[in-house]
Amino acid sequence: MAVIKKFLYVNRKAPHGSIFALESLEVVLIGAAFDQDVALAFIDDGVYQLMRNQDTSGIGTKNFSATYKALGDYDISKIYVEKESLDLRGLSKDNLMPLTWEDEDDDWAEKDSIQVVSSTELAEIIDNQDVIFSF
Amino acid sequence: MTIELNGKSYETDEEGYLVNLSDWTDQLAEEMAKADGSELDDPHWEVINFLREYYEEYQIAPAVRVLTKAIGKRMGKEKATSKYLYELFPYGPAKQACKYAGLPKPTGCV
């Protein structure tokens, strides 16, 4: 049995206008096939990636924000959003898309994937990872 | 590459995936299957329609593992096996079914 490592994908950039957010999401989805312990963190402008009601029709790019809602299907249930980054931008969890996963061990109960954490808590989470990808 | 159907031609990439998602019709799916030497019956359509709905909602073609789980939830456990899906789509359920569904090749498809 292979060792399961803890992977954290750190997202710091706004979703549109650069390729970082989409690339990160694709790597996450590809990596999810390898049965590792995967978590995502959203810091700084990265918190905009999870905003509700994104609309890219004005800039002619694909609106991939719907894809975050599929993360639960890929057994990704740990999505950390830094509270300070939300506060600085006048945002709260209500401005973010609801993201859920289904707990197989709890009769497929639908559970919230997003956890708003302080920068101190996030530092601890980052400290506990085996592998960190920064986008 | 192109597919010719009813006097119109539809552009595909070198592996036969439709370039424009909006070109898709069920007739085009039948045509693609025929070119691969197979025929589409109800069980195939069940999967193809599911994939199209999934793409519509999430903007991605799901990985096989996700497809299998979702099929099981919706259509019953006996269909939630890769064996069932491989019997329907011997070239790989995600790859082949996505092609017929007019979707891009699944992300992370190996």
Q: For the segment B60-109, what is each residue's pLDDT rounded down to a tens digit?
A: 988 888 888 888 888 888 888 888 889 999 888 878 999 999 998 776 55
CA distances from A96 to A115, B45, B59, B70 (A): 11, 35, 18, 25
Q: Under CATH, which number does the domain B2-100 receive?
A: 1.10.10.370
8 Å CB contact of B63 and A33: yes
8 Å CB contact of A69 and B58: yes
The span from the CA of A85 to the CA of A44, in Å, is: 5
What are φ and ψ of residue A84, in 5° steps? Answer: -60, -40
Please say whether the beta carbons of A68 and A40 come within 8 A: no
B109 labelled catalytic: yes
| Residue type present at position A127 | D
Collapse the DSSP code of A48 into the 3-class scheme (helix H, G, I; strand E, B; otherwise coil) and give the result: helix
The span from the CA of B70 to the CA of B54, in Å, is: 10
Q: For the segment B27-71, what is each residue's pLDDT rounded down to a tens digit?
A: 999 999 998 888 999 999 999 999 999 999 999 988 888 888 888
Domain of A73: which CATH number?
3.40.1260.10
Residues of chain B found within 8 Å of residue A73, distances taken between Cβ atoms:
62, 66, 69-70
Q: For the segment A64-86, what is each residue's pLDDT rounded down to a tens digit?
A: 999 999 999 999 999 999 999 99
Structural domain includes residue A25: yes
Domain ranges of chain B: 2-100
Long-range contacts of B80-86 (CB under 8 A, 24+ apart): B85/B47
Ranges A14-28, A112-126, B12-26: which has the least confidence: B12-26
User: What per-residue string of b and e applies to B82-102 under the rule 16 or more CB within 10 Å gives b?
Assistant: eebbeebbeebbbbbbbbbbb
- Name the CA dihedral angle for B92, A101, A48, A31, rounded to a multiple of 10 degrees: -40
**Radius of gyration over alpha carbons of chain B, in Å?**
13
8 Å CB contact of A66 and B58: yes
Structural domain includes residue A1: no
Count of domains in chain A? Answer: 1
Q: For the segment A102-117, what is each residue's pLDDT rounded down to a tens digit?
A: 988 888 899 999 999 9
